Structure 1
Amino acid sequence: MQNTLIEFSDFSFTYQAQKDPTLNHINLSIGQGEKILIVGPSGSGKSTLGYCINALIPNAFKGRIEGSASVCGLSLADSDIYEVNKKVGTVMQDTDAQFVALTVAEDIAFSLENQCMDQNTMQLLVEDMANVVGMSSFLGQSPQDLSGGQKQRVSLAGVLVDDVQVLLFDEPLANLDPETGRTAITLIDELWRTTSKTVLIIEHRLEDVLYRQVDRILVMQEGSLVADTTPQKLLSSGLLTGLGI
């Protein structure tokens, strides 16, 4: 039986400035090693669900929580964002917002420097992760000089150095052309197949993500989880057409 890493039980969330909840009575379990696609129309709550998983809610985005949720054994209501980020690595849609250093190598090493890791160990780990994502020859370059796909790979390497349990991709294809998008999905798939990490992909470009296997698809609509099923069952159900996805 799979180890449950993420669990929501009758979970609802209302942003501080809003009257109505953005997430309504979510019940969800995600196990170690699963690869899951989260889809839904704009405003469906899929991004808010991601914010709960990486602890931006309730740490950065305040509001009212009802029910319970836990991520890698940590209660969401009592979560410390730094502790959660040791277990959940997020690659954001706007990769530029994640860059904090002048070179690719320095950016990948950023979290390791905060941990006061010795220089030799850090250099080996940075080189190893750069190799994993195919960016070894770019270590001395500025992240701002890279293409969209290359920036995404650097962001991913910066997450992988922490050996997180969960990889959360927030619309990884948003700024990529179809060919580069397929390359990104292939890299994500290879990481999933060669590690025991749980992979979560929030994305509206359904066909591009399904270029490679996923275990389950979660469909969000108006703050509710309206489907949690396999790709085969979902694509034959007609639900996506009704939602305009």
Structure 2
Amino acid sequence: MEDKFISFQDYTFQYRAQSEPTLKHINLDIKKGERIVIIGASGSGKSTIAHSLNGLIPFSYPGESTGTLTICGKEVKTLSIFELSQYVGTVLQDTDGQFIGMTVLEDIAFSMENNCVPQDEMIQKTREEAVKVQILEKLDASPHQLSGGQKQRVSLAGILVNNVPILLFDEPLANLDPYAGKKSIELIDQIQKQTDTTVILIEHRLEDALHMGADRIILMEDGAIIADEPPSVLFASEKLKEAGIREPLYITALKYGGCMLEPSMKLEKIQDLLLEEEQKKQMRQWFFYRKKEKKEEEKQVILSVEDIHFGYTEEKENLSHISFTVKEGEMISIVGKNGAGK
């Protein structure tokens, strides 16, 4: 990995319409091929980092900056937005705003058309990238008619045709259900391994983002970086909780079970966890105690639903034979893919 492939040095940025800086004295170096996840509460400065990298600052969002930001050894403020797009490819949260072509094929090929790539070469490259992102069968479809996950794949393919060294994802899971989100992260992971690109993922859904296998997590608060650590180191601390960010549920469960967390336990993925026999015993005791405690409690039913049917129109039922009860004090989760009826 190359040191300082991307480098923020004492970088501060203030939007023209605001009275205070949104980013404050950012110092951050990212190496070539690294996988970086940036997290933080709303307003922490995550998106402003993204806008600084992809040229939306200052070309779409004017303001004042101090310090330096360099990409591939070039200072960003000296580059045009076209020159910057040769280094950084962005998949936006609202993928509909990125589409240019009437069909998926036209959209993926758009930048190659601008560069006057011969048609045979352009079609071949478009098909190659469509295969890579698993969207080949949709080349003749309108991108606006696709599912959220498919739209994201089209946007990604349109970037990959340019062979950019940096892929930037701005909350790619925001509009996806859990299954589609997992598939999206797995695809990003696969693409990164194939191309050795630098991947920067800005996301609220931290546990889902970890399917990618992050090298580091950058935790932001109030425009500043408050942690820059490998996942296992960060999860062994209380920094996420203190910043108001939800930890992965398995980390919370380990803490509830009384386990003392150490980075050596490989905390970055639940399937890789290394627990001592005593810790496994602790977790079993906690689990069965909670299970027994719940069984012994007899709570009053406060909501009862029996055989409910509902449809927004007469032609289609959105809910069929819905029956359940909710007892006092229960915490209920309702899950399902988009359109399931939640």
Q: Give me the whole-angstrom Cα distance separating, in 1, the residues matched to 2:79 and 2:19.
A: 24
Report if aligned partners of 2:11, 2:23 keep a CA contact under 8 Å in 1.
yes
- 1:163-178 → structure 2 map (5 Å cutoff): 163-178=163-178
Once the two structures are overlaid, the 10-residue window that deviates more, 76-85 or 33-42, is 76-85
Deviation at 1:2, TM superposition (A): 2.3
Q: What is the SS of the residue equivalent to 2:162?
A: coil
Corresponding position of 1:186: 186
Corresponding position of 1:37: 37
Report if aligned partners of 1:35, 1:214 keep a CA contact under 8 Å in 2.
yes
Corresponding position of 1:86: 86
Counterpart code for 1:236: A
State yes or no: 1:120 paired with 2:127: no
- Identify unmatched segments of 5+ residues in structure 2: 246-342
Report if aligned partners of 1:65, 1:77 keep a CA contact under 8 Å in 2.
no
Report if aligned partners of 2:3, 2:29 keep a CA contact under 8 Å in 1.
no
Deviations along 1:155-206, one digit per CA (max 9) or x if unpaired, are 0000000000000000000000001100000000011112120000000100
* TM-score for the superposition, normalised by structure 1: 0.98
State yes or no: 1:99 paired with 2:105: no
Deviation at 1:77, TM superposition (A): 2.0
Deviation at 1:92, TM superposition (A): 0.3
What's the Cα RMSD here? 0.9
Deviation at 1:78, TM superposition (A): 2.0
Q: Give me the whole-angstrom Cα distance separating, in 2, the residues matched to 1:174 and 1:182.
A: 12
Deviation at 1:3, TM superposition (A): 4.1
Q: Give me the whole-angstrom Cα distance separating, in 2, the residues matched to 1:74 and 1:55.
A: 13
Find the structure with the greater CA-based Rg.
2
Corresponding position of 1:48: 48
State yes or no: 1:228 paired with 2:224: no
Deviation at 1:87, TM superposition (A): 1.1
Corresponding position of 1:237: 237
Q: Give me the whole-angstrom Cα distance separating, in 2, the residues matched to 1:11 and 1:161.
A: 31
Q: Give me the whole-angstrom Cα distance separating, in 2, the residues matched to 1:76 and 1:60.
A: 15
Report if aligned partners of 1:6, 1:70 keep a CA contact under 8 Å in 2.
yes
Corresponding position of 1:63: 63
Q: Give me the whole-angstrom Cα distance separating, in 1, the residues matched to 2:174 and 2:72.
A: 28
Once the two structures are overlaid, the 10-residue window that deviates more, 133-142 or 63-72, is 63-72
Corresponding position of 2:215: 215
Deviations along 1:112-159, one digit per CA (max 9) or x if unpaired, are 111011100000000000000001111000011110000000000000
Deviation at 1:72, TM superposition (A): 2.2
Corresponding position of 2:249: none
* TM-score for the superposition, normalised by structure 2: 0.71
Deviation at 1:211, TM superposition (A): 2.3
Corresponding position of 1:198: 198
Deviations along 1:43-100, one digit per CA (max 9) or x if unpaired, are 0000000111111111211111111111223212222111010111000000000001
Q: Give me the whole-angstrom Cα distance separating, in 2, the residues matched to 1:105 and 1:73.
A: 34
Deviation at 1:24, TM superposition (A): 0.2
Report if aligned partners of 2:89, 2:168 keep a CA contact under 8 Å in 1.
yes
Percent of aligned positions with the same letter in both sequences? 50
Corresponding position of 1:75: 75
Report if aligned partners of 2:39, 2:206 keep a CA contact under 8 Å in 1.
yes
Q: What is the SS of the residue equivalent to 1:174?
A: coil
State yes or no: 1:4 paired with 2:4: yes
Corresponding position of 2:267: none
Q: Give me the whole-angstrom Cα distance separating, in 2, the residues matched to 1:144 and 1:172.
A: 17
Report if aligned partners of 2:2, 2:31 keep a CA contact under 8 Å in 1.
yes
Q: Give me the whole-angstrom Cα distance separating, in 2, the residues matched to 1:82 and 1:72.
A: 15
Q: Following superposition, which runs of at least 4 residues in structure 1 exceed 4 angstroms of deviation? A: none
Q: Give me the whole-angstrom Cα distance separating, in 1, the residues matched to 2:104 and 2:212.
A: 28
Q: What is the SS of the residue equivalent to 2:159?
A: helix
Q: Give me the whole-angstrom Cα distance separating, in 1, the residues matched to 2:199 and 2:212.
A: 13
Report if aligned partners of 2:12, 2:65 keep a CA contact under 8 Å in 1.
yes
Report if aligned partners of 2:214, 2:231 keep a CA contact under 8 Å in 1.
yes
Counterpart code for 2:232: Q
Counterpart code for 2:102: L
